[in-house]
Amino acid sequence: MKVIPQVVRSQLKAQMAKWRQRVAHELSGDTVAGLSEGNEVSLFFDGDNAYEAMLNAIAHARHFVHLEIYMFLSDQIGQTFAAALAQKAREGIPVRVIYDAIGSSAANAMQWAGMRDAGVNVVAYHPLGIARKHAGIPGRNHRKNLIIDGTSGFTGGMNIGNPWSQEQQRENAWRDTQISVHGPAAGDLNQLFLDSWKYTTKETLPDIDITPPSHGTSLCMVVGSQGLGSRKQIRRLFSVHLDQARHSVKMTMPYFVPPRRLRKSMQRAAGRGVHIAVLVPRDSDVTLVDWLREGLYPKLLRWGVRVIEYLGPVLHAKTMVVDDSIAIIGSNNFDILSVLMNRETALVVFDDEVAEELNRQWENDLMLSERVASDWKGIRPWWRLMMAKAGCFLIRKL
């Protein structure tokens, strides 16, 4: 085992701190409130564990519960959350829920009615129907944010429903990543909710000033895009990290259809020797995205990007690790919808241990994966190759 002298360790630590400060400075204008200290974060790779923590947090809420969610189903998991939120409202705690009208279109209307009867304030984001207020198809609320009292929060890729539960789906449960944060960053997540609530209801909620405990050691930044017309935040989230990366970038992305500027950022990073690896599903739950993604394979391989296809159950995690030092977990995909249209959230964590935990999960995922080689076309049927060629043509226009 190589022993690094203390003076060298101190120099490396100082260099890393300086580099992190540079990244934070580059992103500061696109965050909710800049860099916050004293956060305690936990990662979840299992839906049932994440749901247990979320339900426990709801049960212990003292001031308010805020939830903005893309997909809130009416299955066993959905009903469990609906009951927990309703119970908290009956206790006299303000509970507000924003669900996306398209993402949650499979939910039973009786579920919303039951929650409202219990006192939960439930609103639909961009409801369907021309005559309805704030109706519209483009621009969805793709966030998965739960905030408790402004001191605890959850975000990531997990919606509320059976697909993420191993108890309900067994070996077919979706592979996803969720993160909890206790500290100032939870208040930043709540600021995103307050903005969404004002947009959806025209009601300005008071910003309850609750000083969160600072038990943790993680530095965090919350990045949130505001939907149509707010294109900069998520694009810069990715481009800044790609431009600042010195050694490596590991991305886990279920929907990988980056617009031209992000493709250029990847090419520049790979060109200066950054090792970029992208883990994507071979077959996602959105077939069109698979065809478009495969249209990019020739360029990615030519640039030296390592493309790996996940062969297990549906891959839905959206994470990024830069230089084994910065971790990004959120709702945002590396695609055009996240960059140009949707309300998204990403939590940037400057913490070696969190990055290491994501790297361990990365290695676990690789055990169910296969690298895309130069002869990848040989394992595709002819019609899929034709669709990839069409995807290559289409993505050049984006």
Q: Of 165-179, 223-237, 381-395, give the lowest mean pLDDT range.
A: 381-395
Query: Tokens 């279920």 label which residue?
Result: 254
Q: Are 294 and 388 in contact (CB under 8 A)?
A: yes
Residues 6+ apart with CB under 8 A from 6: none
Q: Are 282 and 308 in contact (CB under 8 A)?
A: no
Q: Read off the pLDDT band of 10 (50, 70, 90).
A: low
Domain map (residue ranges) of the chain: 6-254+316-367
d(CA 22, CA 244): 8
How many Cβ atoms from other residues are within 10 Å of residue 136's Cβ? 17
Measured in whole angstroms, the distance separating CA 339 from the mean position of its chain's CA atoms is 12
Q: Are 233 and 339 in contact (CB under 8 A)?
A: no
Single-letter amino acid, residue 96: R
How much is the pTM?
Answer: 0.90
Q: Read off the pLDDT band of 9 (50, 70, 90).
A: very low
- E strand or H helix that includes residue 7: helix 6-27
- E strand or H helix that includes residue 257: strand 256-257
On the question of pLDDT at 375 being above 50, the answer is yes
Measured over the CA atoms of residue 158, residue 162, residue 165 and residue 171, the dihedral's sign is negative
On the question of pLDDT at 134 being above 80, the answer is no
On the question of pLDDT at 3 being above 50, the answer is no
d(CA 178, CA 201): 28
Alpha helices by DSSP H, listed for 276-381, are 287-294, 297-303, 336-340, 352-366
pLDDT top residue among 266 and 207: 266
Does the structural domain 6-254+316-367 have CATH classification 1.10.540.10? Answer: no
CA angle, corner 207, sides to 204 and 212, nearest 5? 155
Residues 6+ apart with CB under 8 A from 57: 146, 148, 152, 154, 180
d(CA 367, CA 311): 9
User: Would you state the pLDDT for residue 4?
Assistant: 45
Q: What is the mean pLDDT of residues 276-285?
A: 94
Q: What are phi and psi of 7, to 5 degrees?
A: -65, -35
Residues 6+ apart with CB under 8 A from 360: none
d(CA 257, CA 338): 10
User: Would you state the pLDDT for residue 86?
Assistant: 98
Kindly state the DSSP code that residue 5 receives in the 8-state scheme: P
On the question of pLDDT at 74 being above 50, the answer is yes
- Counting residues of the chain whose pLDDT is more than 90, the rounded percentage is 66
Q: What is the pLDDT of residues 20-39, one digit of tens each?
A: 676 766 666 667 778 899 99
| DSSP string for 124-179 | EES-SSTTSTT--SSS-B--EEEEETTTEEEEES--BSGGG-HHHHGGG--B--EE
Q: Read off the pLDDT band of 8 (50, 70, 90).
A: very low
Q: Are 156 and 330 in contact (CB under 8 A)?
A: yes
Q: What are phi and psi of 93, to 5 degrees?
A: -90, 130
Query: Tokens 């469990």 label which residue?
Result: 80
User: Would you state the pLDDT for residue 247?
Assistant: 95
User: CB-side exposure of 333: number of CA atoms within 13 Å?
Assistant: 25
Among candidates 100, 161, 166, which has minimal Cα distance to 134?
100
Structure tokens that stand for 50 in this block: 């994440």
